[in-house]
């Protein structure tokens, strides 16, 4: 299965429009993706990317917050946004016949938000409550703690949501300056997927974004330096929530295909070694999984587990043991075949909707400057060999980067050394 032909146009101001026609559906998904996120923020304004995303829905020069919501409700569509380390996305899904509504409203909130100061103060309160809710969710908070520790001071290590102090300090001028600098046409991808023809989309998109101008200033690459550490955040919880991890390939690394196969075998599936050894055979955890937190120029490999205070050291030891086994002995043929088919199946199933296809188009352009088709990815996965697995395991899962973070009702003395 390959992604059908897509079409791309660079608008006169430098923004990129990319579309994929899916004639057998009745919907259209549209996304405006900007190449900025929390990894591009200065420390005193941490969380500003996420704050701007919130404020976009609070009113424009011609629409109130209620108008924005009601226009989508009136056509049965949905609209939302998300902020990450490197990308901020505004997106909508509507019936194909209401694509004009999606273009009109999304472009309006993206280009013409007023950032009313009274609304800003109200929304700061909402985000502070979101931060507090997050603090009460240790199985989510632990991942930010891990990234903060291993990236030690780099912007990519800071939580996307920011802190109460940094969010409270953001002014309207800060937002205007940030968007003027980074919300530029040459840093923006507009992606549509669904029952839409490229030429029809272009007729709507070009005038809607014609007033957008500016150029992204040069940005130095500043990949974080990893630092081995152990860190405990004491909290009265029933379980110890842990992240144990190390280096990982970036989104653009040629190692990413072999590493994705390794990840499925180690912890990213129900048949994985860690899931079977720690949950199924020993009953030491309900939740245990691994993932590669790949970004444009760097990556992290992380194992998460929630376990009892008594079992916590054993889970750490067992995880490290599995790391060492695969580095030394590799994997079986059956594991290799199962992992490759798992990746292919997940990829195909994950691209069944217009929204997922739209997001895929935008991410491909951002990370690779081109669309990598499903068939191309299949070929790269099929080429992965046993030696490749051992090579990437030894290249990335290295003791000098091995970092452990934990949240739980334990003492510093009870935190294992790794």
Q: How far apart are CA 370 and CA 337, in angstroms?
A: 28
Task: Give the strand pairing for 403-408 and 230-234.
Answer: parallel
Active site residue 335: no
Q: How far apart are CA 51 and CA 68, in angstroms?
A: 18
From the candidates 20, 41, 53, 322, give the one annotated as an active-site residue. 53
- Give whole-number Cα distances, 283 to 178, 308, 312, 415, in Å: 49, 11, 12, 21
**Cα three-residue angle 149-154-158, rounded to 5 degrees:** 65
Tally Cβ neighbours within 10 Å of residue 208: 18
Structure tokens at 129: 């409550």
Catalogue the active-site residues: 53
């Amino acid at each position: 299965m390959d992604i059908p032909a897509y079409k791309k146009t660079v608008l006169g101001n430098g923004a990129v429009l990319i579309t994929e026609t899916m004639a057998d559906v009745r919907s259209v998904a549209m996304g405006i993706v900007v190449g900025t996120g929390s990894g591009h923020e200065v420390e005193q304004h941490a969380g500003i990317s996420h704050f701007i995303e919130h404020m976009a829905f609070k009113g424009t020069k011609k629409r109130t917050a209620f108008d924005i919501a009601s226009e989508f409700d009136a056509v049965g569509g949905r609209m939302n946004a998300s902020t990450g380390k490197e990308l901020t996305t505004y997106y909508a899904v509507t019936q194909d016949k209401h694509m004009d509504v999606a273009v009109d409203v999304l472009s309006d909130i993206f280009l013409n938000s007023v950032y009313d100061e009274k609304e800003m103060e109200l929304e700061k309160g909402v985000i502070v409550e979101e931060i507090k809710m997050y603090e009460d969710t240790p199985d989510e908070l632990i991942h930010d703690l891990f990234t903060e520790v291993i990236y030690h001071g780099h912007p990519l290590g800071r939580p996307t949501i920011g802190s109460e102090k940094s969010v409270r300090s953001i002014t309207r001028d800060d937002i205007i300056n940030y968007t003027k600098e980074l919300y530029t046409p040459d840093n923006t991808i507009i992606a549509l997927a669904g029952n839409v023809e490229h030429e029809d989309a272009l007729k709507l998109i070009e005038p809607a974004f014609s007033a957008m101008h500016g150029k992204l200033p040069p940005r130095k690459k500043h990949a974080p330096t990893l630092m081995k550490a152990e860190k405990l955040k004491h909290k009265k919880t029933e379980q110890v929530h842990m992240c144990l991890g190390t280096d990982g390939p970036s989104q653009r690394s040629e190692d990413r295909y072999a590493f994705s196969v390794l990840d499925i075998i180690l912890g990213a599936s129900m048949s994985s070694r860690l899931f079977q050894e720690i949950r199924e055979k020993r009953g030491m955890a309900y939740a245990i999984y691994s993932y590669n937190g790949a970004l444009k120029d760097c990556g992290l490999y992380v194992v998460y587990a929630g376990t009892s205070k008594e079992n916590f050291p054993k889970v750490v030891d067992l995880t490290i043991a599995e790391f060492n086994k695969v580095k030394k002995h590799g994997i079986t043929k059956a594991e290799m075949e199962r992992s490759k088919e798992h990746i292919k199946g997940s990829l195909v199933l994950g691209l069944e909707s217009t929204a997922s296809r739209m997001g895929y188009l935008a991410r491909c352009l951002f990370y690779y400057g081109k669309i990598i088709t499903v068939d191309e990815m299949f070929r790269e996965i099929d080429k992965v060999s046993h030696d490749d697995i051992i090579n990437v395991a030894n290249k990335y899962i290295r003791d000098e980067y091995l970092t452990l973070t934990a949240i739980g009702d334990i003492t510093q003395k009870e935190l294992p050394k790794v």
